[in-house]
C-alpha cells in the first residue's frame, strides 16, 4: 500500500489517565494537504505532536518514508498557533538559526545566507528581515515561523492552528500565501484547524475526528476542487458548499460537542 506518511493503530494515554486517542490510522501521500478537524479537546494536537515526535504514542506506529518516527527531527517542521520565535533574534536570525542547524555541515555560509533570504522572500518578509518579533505584527511573526519551517526543507510540514490567533483579514491573506506556496513547492502538509472554511479551502482531504475519549478518525472527505483555488469564486461553488455542509454535519449533527462534566 502506498503512503508517504503512515499513522498506524495509534493509541495515546497520558499518565495512566483515559485513552485520548484510540486506534488512529491514516495514510498521507507526498504533496498532499491534509486537515485534521474536530471539537476542542478531541486530541488533534496530540496526534500532530506524535507525528512531530514531540510525544510518544502509547501503542501503534508512525512511519515517514518507511522510517519509524520516535523523536523530533528537521524532516518534520512544526508551526504552532503562537509563534515560537526567539524574541532576541531578528527575523533573519531566527530563520538562519534553523538553516545553520540543518545545513551547517553541508553548505557554505554564503549558501546558507542566500537560502535564508530566499525563504524570507517566499513569505514576503525579506524587507522586515532585521526586525525582532516584538517589532512586527502577529501575521508577520507567523510568516517568519513558516519561512523557518520551509527553510528546513521538511518532508512534512505540521501546522497546529497556524492562523488561529490572527484577525480574519490577516488569516485570509496568510491562507492564500500558504496555499500558493504549497502549490509551488509541493509540500506535504498536515494541519490542525477548527475552521471549516479554512479546511475546505486548503485541503485535498479533510480528516474528521470523533469526540474523545478514545477519539479516532470518523470520516475522511475528499475535496475535489481544482487548484489554484480562489476564495471569492469558491463562495458560490456547489462542490465547495457541499464539502462545507458535510463537515458541518459531521461536527454538529453526528458528533456534536459534549461539554465535559
Binding site for ligand ATP (CB under 6 A): 14-15, 20, 38, 40-46, 212
**In angstroms, rounded to a whole number, what is the distance separating the alpha carbons of residues 11 and 25?**
10
Shortest distance in whole angstroms from residue 194 CB to ligand ATP: 6
**45 or 90, CB closer to ligand ATP?**
45
CB closer to ligand ATP out of 106 and 260: 260
Residue 61: Cβ-neighbour burial (10 angstroms; 0-12, 13-18, 19+):
middle
CA of 117: how far to CAs of 86, 114, 144, 152, 198, in Å? 18, 5, 11, 13, 29
Report yes or no: 64 and 7 within 8 Å, Cβ to Cβ.
no
Cβ atoms of residues 172 and 235 within 8 Å:
no
Least Å from the CB of residue 41 to ligand ATP: 4
The least CB distance from residue 17 to ligand ATP, in Å, is 6
Least distance (Å) between residue 90 CB and ligand ATP: 30
- Alpha carbon separation from 67 to 75, 169, 198 (Å, rounded): 11, 40, 31
Instruction: Tell me the closest approach of the beta carbon of residue 259 to ligand ATP, in angstroms.
Output: 13
Cβ closest to ligand ATP, residue 90 vs residue 193: 193
How many CA atoms are closer than 13 Å to the CA of 74, on its beta-carbon side? 13
Instruction: Please give the Cα distance from 39 to 116 (Å, whole number).
Output: 37
Alpha carbons within 13 angstroms on the beta-carbon side of residue 136 total: 25
Q: For residues 58 and 177, which CB has a smaller minimum distance to ligand ATP in the complex? A: 58
Q: How far is the CB of 160 from ligand ATP (least distance, A)?
A: 8
Cα–Cα distance measured from residue 3 to residue 10, given in angstroms and rounded to the nearest whole number: 16
Q: Which is nearer to ligand ATP, 25 or 127 (CB)?
A: 25
CB closer to ligand ATP out of 124 and 254: 254
Amino acid at each position: 500500500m502506498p503512503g508517504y506518511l503512515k499513522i498506524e493503530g495509534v493509541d495515546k494515554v497520558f499518565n495512566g489517565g483515559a485513552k485520548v486517542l484510540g486506534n488512529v490510522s491514516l495514510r498521507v501521500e507526498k504533496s498532499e494537504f491534509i486537515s485534521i478537524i474536530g471539537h476542542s479537546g478531541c486530541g488533534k494536537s496530540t496526534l500532530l505532536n506524535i507525528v512531530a515526535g514531540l510525544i510518544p504514542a502509547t501503542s501503534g506506529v508512525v512511519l515517514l518514508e518507511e522510517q519509524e518516527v520516535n523523536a523530533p527531527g528537521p524532516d518534520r517542521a512544526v508551526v504552532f498557533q503562537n509563534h515560537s520565535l526567539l524574541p532576541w533574534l531578528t527575523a533573519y536570525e531566527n530563520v538562519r538559526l534553523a538553516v545553520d542547524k540543518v545545513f551547517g555541515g553541508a553548505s557554505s555560509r554564503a549558501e546558507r545566507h542566500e537560502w535564508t533570504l530566499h525563504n524570507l522572500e517566499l513569505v514576503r518578509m525579506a524587507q522586515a528581515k532585521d526586525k525582532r518579533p516584538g517589532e512586527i505584527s502577529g501575521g508577520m511573526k507567523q510568516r517568519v515561523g513558516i519561512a523557518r519551517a520551509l527553510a528546513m526543507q521538511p518532508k512534512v510540514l505540521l501546522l497546529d492552528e497556524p492562523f488561529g490567533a490572527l484577525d480574519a483579514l490577516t488569516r485570509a491573506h496568510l491562507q492564500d500565501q500558504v496555499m500558493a506556496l504549497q502549490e509551488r513547492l509541493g509540500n506535504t502538509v498536515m494541519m490542525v484547524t477548527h475552521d471549516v472554511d479554512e479546511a475546505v479551502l486548503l485541503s485535498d482531504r479533510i480528516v474528521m475526528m470523533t469526540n474523545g475519549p478514545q477519539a479516532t478518525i470518523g470520516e475522511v472527505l475528499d475535496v475535489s476542487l481544482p487548484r489554484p483555488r480562489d476564495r471569492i469564486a469558491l463562495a458560490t461553488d456547489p462542490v465547495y458548499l457541499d464539502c462545507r455542509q458535510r463537515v458541518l454535519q459531521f461536527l454538529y449533527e453526528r458528533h456534536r460537542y459534549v461539554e465535559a462534566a
